[in-house]
Chain A
């Protein structure tokens, strides 16, 4: 079943900057998809349309079978959590604790449950020692961790991560990826927006946007190898695959090496 269906969606800012043109996309329940594309290709715009923060010029979005419109937007938002590209845009509270609680409060969690979840999720992102701090007095990576904790704690059916790990250290990044694998196993539908191919290979499918259009959409394995598309959308070939191309160009073939390089590119 498709939990998100996007049909012929177009959007422009102030009627002049065409950010998305005729986007079609469906996401299956429990699937993890990555959205990639050059700066300004429309990734964040698409995510804001899905949660109803922006209103499409034409086309439609269905979430869990329900058309997104003014009447349904409230209910639909309860199903989707989004970690914004800039964590500052997510902070409303005076303390880190308030901020993690905010999303849960909107979903009317019991107070006792909120307290428990603040503990659980701040620990998951390694921010337990900072609960009483002001969110604005955190380092860049710490802000991202708090933003992630607040959204995870809401336990929504769908979670969108808009470059949510862009400022994390390598270990922090890896632990968030592990966590995404876990929630996916538990049935959550995940959309990650990223520029990092090493993150994208972990997902089931990859969608590539270019100048507001979907120019590629497919199984991760297929997209990884699509050198032309990657090149033309400011993306990169993973290093092991680059080596494979060099070997191919030199007409050197070795099945064992080829297999190892493929495994390495899949992070295995």
Chain B
């Protein structure tokens, strides 16, 4: 077990003295190896708050999060008896807004910051930077640029590169594909899949794109109003009636299949996973 949430509640303090409860009684276990998890749920349901607990960026108000054997509770001092640095390296978190992560004067410095902080030599960190920048679809020239003078999608790519360079054991990405062009989205999802398959690492992705969930995930978590309301397989999720209640949607391939069935007044004998599968089914009936 890499990460374990036990009865986690979390409230944001507010300036008017009231507290806002963003996580309600979360129980959750994340395996160290081999999971490809997508985390979904409506706007404001608590997804970003949940993943910030996974590398002890925030501490639960009540309950506990155990990360690689280290128990984080409300009174766990930020520094002091518990060293959080090793946790941060093992669980790499990419923020929803790349701007929160970029701060150095060049892209290179930004990317090598993490690895160097965790004891990688300058030379090796630079080597890693040259690798990862290519992996996120930017050429080496970008290393010299200022991270602030980039387009939105380019910033996103650099912020992902920075975490990849840390080579964490678990990769947690908060909406990594929002703002990416479709090719960039597909390339990066393929990259995360490769990391998951070849290195047998666990990857957790927050997304609003149901196609990503259906195509890539082995497990899907659904948040709704601060509660974890679903933890299971994507195929089962999309056949339940809760999709609407939770402000989700069905993947395009399912909706096209249903529409074709309805409008042609036929019934296919299976639910295709890809457009190529659907093609084979359609070919048979026309």
Contacts and interface: CB of A to CB of B under 8 A. Distances in A.
Nearest to A241: B275
A169 B175 contact: no
Interface string A28-56: 00000000011110011000000000000
Contact of A38 (B97, B178, B183, B259): B183
Contact of A170 (B175, B210, B276): B210
A166 interface: yes
A14 to B, nearest CB: 8
A140 B96 contact: yes
A168 B43 CA distance: 6
Nearest to A172: B43
Given A195-B180, A234-B182, A170 B208 contact: yes
Interface in A214-268: 234-236, 239-240, 242-243, 246-247, 250, 252, 254, 256-257, 260, 264
Given A38-B181, A140-B97, A169 B247 contact: yes
Contacts of B248: 169-170
B153 to A, nearest CB: 3
Contacts of B151: 39-40, 43-44
A86 interface: yes
B282 A140 contact: no
B97 A243 contact: no
B152 A44 contact: yes
Q: Which of B12, B178, B181, B248: most chain A Cβ within 10 A?
A: B181
Given A40-B151, A246-B279, A239 B180 contact: no
Interface in B248-262: 248-249, 252-253, 256, 259-260
A257 B264 contact: yes
B214 to A, nearest CB: 12
Nearest to B185: A195
B208 A169 contact: yes
B96 A167 contact: yes
Contacts of A172: 42-43, 247
A108 B140 CA distance: 48
B97 A257 contact: no
A165 B266 CA distance: 36
Interface stretch (A62-70, A74-82, A131-139, A181-189): A131-139
B2 interface: no
B227 to A, nearest CB: 15
Contacts of B34: none
A242 B99 contact: no
A172 B44 CA distance: 11
Nearest to A163: B179
Interface string B229-258: 000000000000000000111001100100
Nearest to A17: B149
Contacts of A173: 208
Contact of A39 (B153, B249, B256): B153
A234 B181 contact: yes
Nearest to A125: B43
Contact of A239 (B15, B149, B256, B283): B256
Contacts of A134: 15
B164 to A, nearest CB: 17
Contacts of A38: 153, 181, 183-184
A243 B43 CA distance: 32
Contact of A169 (B43, B153, B252, B263): B43
B264 A166 contact: no
Given A168-B208, A243-B279, A264 B179 contact: no
A236 B175 CA distance: 20
* Top 7 A-B residue pairs of the complex, sorted by shortest distance between their CB atoms: A39-B153, A141-B43, A170-B249, A234-B183, A236-B182, A234-B181, A246-B279
Interface of B: 12, 14-16, 41-44, 47-48, 96-97, 99, 149-154, 156-157, 175, 178-185, 208, 210, 247-249, 252-253, 256, 259-260, 263-264, 275-276, 278-279, 282-283, 286
Interface of A: 13-14, 17, 37-40, 43-44, 85-86, 88, 132-134, 137-142, 145, 163, 166-173, 195, 197, 234-236, 239-240, 242-243, 246-247, 250, 252, 254, 256-257, 260, 264
